């Protein structure tokens, strides 16, 4: 994110999408590395956005930068299929993933992709926002210092 922001001309309209996951904000046994990396990416986006509005900012950057932490939902991907194939002794959350498929809650990738494209093509976005697939309205903006709690 920082590299793209530093290398973009000031007149650039820059949209950054970090693909998040429910595992970034929820606890799922067997997904420690995946969930913590998604949580770290989410936090990095919040910090970069806060730095862009900070009075301590020293380098010239584009004036229209928006970062979205986007949770695409339960998408029918090869990762989902691989998770369902794991033995329960290796992956404690395997039944949850099997249930996603059994109950028909998997989303086709084209649907969240369309929402991401809409954000990338948008104007007047806050510095940082979060959105979950299929939620109505615009992404939820976060102000500096706001946190889940």
Q: Is 38 known to be catalytic?
A: yes
Quick check: is 143 in a domain?
Answer: no
**The pLDDT of residue 144 is above 80:** no
Q: Give the count of domains, the chain.
A: 1
Q: Does 37 map to a domain?
A: yes
pLDDT in tens, 61-78: 888 999 999 999 999 999
Query: Catalytic pick from 21, 36, 38, 55?
Result: 38
Query: What does the pLDDT look like over 85-103, one tens digit per residue?
Result: 999 999 999 999 999 999 9
pTM of the model: 0.82
In a domain, 28, yes or no: yes
Range of the domain at 26: 1-72+125-133
Active-site annotation holder among 20, 21, 69, 129: 20
Which 3 state secondary structure label does DSSP give 141? strand
> What is the pLDDT at residue 60?
78
How would you class 88 by CB atoms within 10 Å of its CB: exposed for 0-12, middle for 13-18, buried for 19 or more? exposed
pLDDT attached to residue 134: 83
Q: Is residue 41 part of a domain?
A: yes
Does 85 map to a domain?
A: no
* 20: annotated active-site residue: yes
pLDDT of residue 63: 87
At residue 61, the pLDDT reads 85
| Any domain includes 148 | no
């Amino acid at each position: 994110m920082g590299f793209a922001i530093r290398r973009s001309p000031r007149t650039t309209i820059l949209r950054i999408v970090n693909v998040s996951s429910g595992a970034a904000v929820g606890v799922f046994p067997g997904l420690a590395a995946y969930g913590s990396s998604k949580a770290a990416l989410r936090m990095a986006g919040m910090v970069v956005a806060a730095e862009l509005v900070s009075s301590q900012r020293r380098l010239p950057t584009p004036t229209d930068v928006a970062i979205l932490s986007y949770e695409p939902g339960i998408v029918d991907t090869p990762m989902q299929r691989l998770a369902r194939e794991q033995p329960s002794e290796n992956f404690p959350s395997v039944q949850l993933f099997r249930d996603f498929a059994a109950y028909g809650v998997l989303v086709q990738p084209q649907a969240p992709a369309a929402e991401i494209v809409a954000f990338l093509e948008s104007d007047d976005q806050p510095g940082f926002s979060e959105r979950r697939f299929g939620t109505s309205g615009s992404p939820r903006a976060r102000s500096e210092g706001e946190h889940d709690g």
